[in-house]
Amino acid sequence: MEPSEDPDVIAYSLLLRDSFERWTKTLLLANAEDPTFARQLYEADFVLVSHGVEADPVFRYANRKAQQLWKMDWRRFTQTPSRLSAKPDAREDRQCLLEEAALNGYVSNYRGVRVASDGQTFYIEDTLLWNVVDAKGVKHGQAAMFTKWTNL
């Protein structure tokens, strides 16, 4: 079964969509109300990742484009602490980004260096990071999306 067919992933995809729209006042995808939204998000032409709220947050979501970029399948990705997406010397910068989004709801135009599972580094640009929050205001994590990256 594809991740986008799992009922929990479908529900989380809708939470990602709703949170994104709440913070940015824009649609995550043009046809956001389509019943196949989870599949479209998973197959989207942008990178989308999200981590949970653990003390050392673990990825909860990675669309296909993210899995290809970080060179990990769904199972491995969703068992990986999100801090490992950055090299040790870039983690402080990443943490500042996460804290800024936690305070303001979202941050746009972030850029930084990330590292794939095989050690390949890449530079991400025009990243939008937002808090994943449900209708009751309960925080479920943070998500990031971007369309531009350059291998280093």
Residue 140: what residue type?
H
pTM: 0.90
Task: Print the domain residue range for 99.
Answer: 3-151
pLDDT tens for 48-83 read 999 999 999 999 999 999 999 999 999 999 999 999
Q: What's the CATH code of the domain at 116? A: 3.30.450.20
Mean pLDDT of 108-115: 89
> Is the distance from CB of 78 to CB of 54 less than 8 angstroms?
no
Q: What pLDDT shows up at residue 32?
A: 64
Number of domains into which the chain is organized: 1
Quick one: which H or E segment has residue 129? Answer: strand 121-133
Among 60, 44, 62, smallest CA distance to 52 is for: 60
Q: What pLDDT shows up at residue 152?
A: 94
Q: What pLDDT shows up at residue 119?
A: 94
As a whole number of angstroms, the distance between CA 84 and CA 17 comes to: 25
Alpha-helical runs (H) found in 43-122 = 64-70, 74-77, 91-104
